Structures are given as structure tokens and as C-alpha cells.
A and B are shown apart, each in its own frame.
Chain A
Amino acid sequence: MTSLSKQESQHTGDPRLAVIEEELRHGNYLRGDDRPLFRILEDDKAEVTRLGMDLDTITDKMRRLFEEGRKGFGDPVVVDEVYEVAVFEYRGIIVSPWLDHHAAPKAVVDTRNLKTGRRLRFSLLSLHLIRNYSFFQGKGSPFRINPRSLHEFFT
């Protein structure tokens, strides 16, 4: 199974997407969301476009918050005088459900924008899935990030 590119993943009829959808449902990434995967992807993509979000730039910022935040070993660290970040790292890996042979280290990033008070919580796997597949997870997934919330957090 090869990984799907962003463009491919948006193609509603790709049979590989059906296999990935099964994997995602199996792993609870679509918890509480009855929409088919292609619809979830399309709806979030539409929101991303509406908001003019550049997911490469945004996930670069998320990655940087992780890298800076992990220096606190779980204690909050202030980054760029704007973001308070606490990174909780655990031993082990989480295998990407996108069947792309990616394994994300287990880490949860809790961050607060000190200027707006908005909070953002993400895992390194969420970051991978958003960056590579524009996949923000199903509505009831514990690590679902609403594109609008993500956009507002960084603006």
C-alpha cells in the first residue's frame, strides 16, 4: 500500500481511500462521525480554502512549538513571547493509520496563545496527518482539530 498524495486523497473514488477509511474507523480516528472519509476531507478542505490556510506553514509552526516545548520536559515553556507550550512525551510510537509506514513518537503538545488565551492540543500524529493528508480527524475523535480553531490559534 503506497501513501496517497494530497491530491489523490481528495479523489472521492480512490479504492485505497476505502481501505484507509476502514483503518481510520478501526482506530477510532473517525469516532462519532458518520460521514464518509472523502466527505470529511472535502468539508475540511473547503474550510481550509475559505480561511486561506497554508497547511505547510501552519504545521511548521506546530512542529516548532513541539521542538521548543519539549525542552521543558513537561514544564511550560514560553515560545516567541506568545505561546506557552508544555510537551508531554511518552515512550513508544503510534503507527500512522494512513498505511504510509510512518510512525510518530508518542507526544502530546498543550499550548496556549498568551495574547488571545486560545488553547490548542495536538499529538505528533495529528500533525503528520494534517500536513500530509489534510486530515483533521472525525468530529468525535479526541485529537480532532477544527481547521477554524487551528487558524484562529495562530492569528
Chain B
Amino acid sequence: MTQVIVPALSIAGLATALALLILIAERYLMDYGEVELTINDDRKHRVKGGSTLLNTLKSESIFIPSACGGRATCAYCKVKAVRGFGEVLPTEEPLLTKEEITNNIRLSCQLKVKNDVAIEIPEELFSIREFKARVEAISDLTYDIKLFSFRLNEPEFIDFKPGQYIQFQAPEYGDIDESVYRAYSMCNVPEDKRTVELMVRLVPEGICTTYMFQYLSVGDAVTLTGPFGDFYLRKGDRRMICMAGGSGMAPLRSILKAMKPEQIARRRPIFFFGARSKRDLFMVDEWSAFEREHPDFKFVPALSSPEEGDDWNGETGFIPGLVEKYVDNVAEGEGYLCGSPGMLNACVEVLTKHGIPEERIYYDKFE
């Protein structure tokens, strides 16, 4: 037995050592020197070669959305590679369509900057910043959702569209020896440019939410990157059918609270908010006050499983089932959704069934 195991382990050990050697050589010995990175034809940056395009851009304070830490999984970090990069890599292929490959769309986390390169990215990405901030307040909204308020320090101000999200960086802590980024929608209105507020639901064993719930305290320094996202109020006069559950209330709170009174009168927003039982409901008083202030706005909370003692006289059941009851001529409306993937699917299904085309249903998938 030993005669078999020892040679096998020796070969394996040798192969591992060689693989590590190549990795070390790539990381520490290969010097690509300084190269030129051209963005959108007119912005030229002298950068140190050898890193991924995603990290190179970050070092130039240009932040491309990324949710997977550069592991070629989320496909958020697509850019147009104009010149200087090789063929599409096997790690990119599964995440690119044929049309994207034809148009030189690539994953910036997989591309290495080894020579002069040129790329194209949307202009709005230049407005994304990394913010140093401090925790100003933390409060419980429910037993598993907290409201975090951050005061921005450097830079001091943020411009965002109501509905957009920001990435929160959880540093290394406890057994976690890697910093991670997670995306959360802002729930405050953009008028207070020095504040970012997030509603965060605890994910069991979640790296970032565990940090935020168990380690983060008022006064702590944090890093935020953003704003990101295409979920915001569209122009027009269509009735807004808003649907959310849990912490999905966040972007809709930002959108609805930022609307002008005449806009609310015109768009007649209705907000269906789903929760399991009364202990999962929050900010009901705030929304009731908003209803009184704006007679053309309606808030419809619904409990899917009221508990004994909830003393609930409101709607029950899942929110997609309530649309028909409250909205005349659904097909003329516009959908604004935020929640879990399962809830989003159900809401999209009911709105399309009632005649709203998918292109008039807006949400961030965070997938």
C-alpha cells in the first residue's frame, strides 16, 4: 500500500509545487511595465500592466459593477474590448452571447492588461465613486431587517437616482479572511447628499449581513461604492404599480418619497407590500402618513400568514393576487418591483397576464 501511495503523493506534490511556482512567477516576477489604457477613445491612462482589467480600472477610480469578486460568475463586469486583448477565454464563453462575442464584449475580471489596450464603457460609470463613510445609526425594522444610516466623509456628497443601489464592503472579520462586496438599494431620498440609508435583511450564515448585524456599530468606518443600477422612475404619466416584500421596500421608498406632489397626483402610485405576519411588517405608520399627505397614493400591506393574536383586519394572501382587486385597467400601468427572485417572478407573471409588456416592468434582479 505504502509503495503505491508514496509515489502518487510525490507526483501530486511535485505537480502542486509547479502550479504554485507558475502562479508565484506570474504574480511577482512578470513585469509588464507601464502600459496605456484608452477608454472611450479619448481618456488615456498610464497604468501598471499585469493586473486584471477590472482591478486596473478600480485603481484608476473607475468602478465597474461586480458581484462575484472577479470569479467569472456574475457577468456584471462586461465592457467592450476595442483592442489589445486576445481571443475570448474559456472562462468567459459561458457568460457571453454570440452577439456579445461578435461585438467584442468581454468580462473585465478575466482580461489581463499586459500591453496597450483600448476599451469602451458607458459614460455613467465615470460617476461611480468609492465612498469612505461612518455608521450614523442602526435601528431594528423587524427581527431580521435593520435600517443602517451612513454619513459620507470622503467624498462628502453622492448623486444618485432614487431606486439605485450601492455596494457595501464587509472587511475581514472572525473566521472570514476575505473582504466581500454586497449590493443594497438605497432607501433614502437623494436630497440629503451626505447620507446613504440601507435596509438589510439578515441572511442565515451570510458573510456580509452577519458582519453588518453582529459586528458593525455606530461610529465605525465603512466603504461604499456606487451608485449602480437601472431601477429608477421612468418618465411618463402611467399609473405606477409598485410591489415589494421585506427589505425590497428600500428602492420603492426612495422612488416614492422623492416624487413631487403633482407627480404623485398624475401617476397615482399604488404600493403593495407583502409580509408573512405582523412581525414582518414595518414602517406602516410612515406609509399611512404618506397616504394622508397624498390622497392619490395608496399603500396596501398584505399578510400571507397572519399569526394568532395579530389582530389583522387588512388584506391577506400573496400580493400578486391583489392587483386585480385594486387596479382598474392594469394593462395601462407600469410595474416597479423589488423582492426575492421567487416573488419577482410571481409579480411579473401576474402583471404580464394583465397585459403589461415586460419592458414596462422594472426591477433589479441582483443575480
Bound together, the chains give a CA A2 to CA B91 distance in angstroms of 9
The one of B9, B175, B318, B367 in contact with A105, judged by C-beta atoms closer than 8 angstroms, is: B367
In the complex the two chains form, is B343's CB within 8 Å of A90's CB? no
A122 → chain B, closest Cβ, in Å?
12
Bound together, the chains give a CA A90 to CA B183 distance in angstroms of 12
Task: Write out, one digit per residue, whether chain A residues 1-24 have a CB within 8 A of any chain B CB (1) or not (0).
Answer: 010000000001111001100000
Selecting from B11-19, B52-60, B189-197, B352-360, the interface stretch reads: B11-19
A interface: dominant SS: mixed
In the complex the two chains form, is A31's CB within 8 Å of B175's CB? yes
In the complex the two chains form, is A15's CB within 8 Å of B12's CB? yes
A residues contacting the other copy or chain, number (CB 8 A) = 36
In the complex the two chains form, is A103's CB within 8 Å of B68's CB? yes
Bound together, the chains give a CA A28 to CA B342 distance in angstroms of 28
In the complex the two chains form, is B305's CB within 8 Å of A101's CB? no
The one of A28, A73, A93 in contact with B367, judged by C-beta atoms closer than 8 angstroms, is: A93
Tell whether A52 is near chain B: CB-to-CB under 8 Å: no
In the complex the two chains form, is A90's CB within 8 Å of B367's CB? no
Tell whether A54 is near chain B: CB-to-CB under 8 Å: no
In the complex the two chains form, is A92's CB within 8 Å of B9's CB? no
In the complex the two chains form, is B175's CB within 8 Å of A93's CB? no
B67 proximity list for chain A (CB < 8 A): 92-93
In the complex the two chains form, is B8's CB within 8 Å of A73's CB? no
In the complex the two chains form, is B342's CB within 8 Å of A87's CB? yes
Bound together, the chains give a CA A90 to CA B341 distance in angstroms of 7
B15 proximity list for chain A (CB < 8 A): 13, 15
Knowing A12-B12, A91-B366, the reply to whether A102 touches B73 (Cβ < 8 A) is: yes
B72 proximity list for chain A (CB < 8 A): 101
The one of B74, B182, B340, B364 in contact with A73, judged by C-beta atoms closer than 8 angstroms, is: B340
A105 proximity list for chain B (CB < 8 A): 341, 367
In the complex the two chains form, is A28's CB within 8 Å of B304's CB? no
Task: Write out, one digit per residue, whether chain B residues 22-34 have a CB within 8 A of any chain A CB (1) or not (0).
Answer: 0000000000000
In the complex the two chains form, is B206's CB within 8 Å of A90's CB? yes
Knowing A73-B346, A91-B341, A142-B205, the reply to whether A13 touches B73 (Cβ < 8 A) is: no
Tell whether A34 is near chain B: CB-to-CB under 8 Å: no
A99 proximity list for chain B (CB < 8 A): 71
Bound together, the chains give a CA A90 to CA B248 distance in angstroms of 10
Tell whether B274 is near chain A: CB-to-CB under 8 Å: yes
Task: Write out, one digit per residue, whether chain A residues 85-120 have a CB within 8 A of any chain B CB (1) or not (0).
Answer: 001111111011001011101111000000000000
Bound together, the chains give a CA A46 to CA B22 distance in angstroms of 35
Tell whether A152 is near chain B: CB-to-CB under 8 Å: no
In the complex the two chains form, is A95's CB within 8 Å of B203's CB? no
Bound together, the chains give a CA A89 to CA B365 distance in angstroms of 12
In the complex the two chains form, is A92's CB within 8 Å of B183's CB? yes
A18 proximity list for chain B (CB < 8 A): 12, 16
Knowing A28-B176, A101-B73, A142-B205, the reply to whether A75 touches B276 (Cβ < 8 A) is: yes
The one of B9, B90, B341, B343 in contact with A13, judged by C-beta atoms closer than 8 angstroms, is: B9
A91 proximity list for chain B (CB < 8 A): 183, 248, 339-341, 364-367
B364 proximity list for chain A (CB < 8 A): 91
Task: Write out, one digit per residue, whether chain A residues 55-97 have a CB within 8 A of any chain B CB (1) or not (0).
Answer: 0000000000000001111110000000000011111110110
Bound together, the chains give a CA A104 to CA B26 distance in angstroms of 30
Bound together, the chains give a CA A2 to CA B305 distance in angstroms of 45
Tell whether A153 is near chain B: CB-to-CB under 8 Å: no
B339 proximity list for chain A (CB < 8 A): 91
| Chain B residue nearest to A103 in the complex (CB) | B73
Knowing A14-B12, A15-B19, the reply to whether A101 touches B206 (Cβ < 8 A) is: no
B24 → chain A, closest Cβ, in Å?
13
B27 → chain A, closest Cβ, in Å?
14
Knowing A15-B16, A73-B340, A95-B71, the reply to whether A106 touches B274 (Cβ < 8 A) is: no
In the complex the two chains form, is B91's CB within 8 Å of A101's CB? yes
Q: Chain A residues in contact with chain B, CB under 8 A?
A: 2, 12-15, 18-19, 26-28, 31, 70-75, 87-93, 95-96, 99, 101-103, 105-108, 142-143
Known contacts A91-B341, A106-B203; 7 further A-B pairs (Cβ under 8 A): A13-B8, A74-B304, A89-B341, A90-B206, A101-B73, A103-B74, A106-B206
7 contacts between A and B (CB under 8 A): A14-B12, A71-B342, A72-B304, A89-B342, A142-B204, A142-B205, A143-B205
Minimum-distance CB pairs A-B, first 7: A13-B12, A89-B340, A91-B366, A103-B73, A15-B16, A15-B15, A70-B342
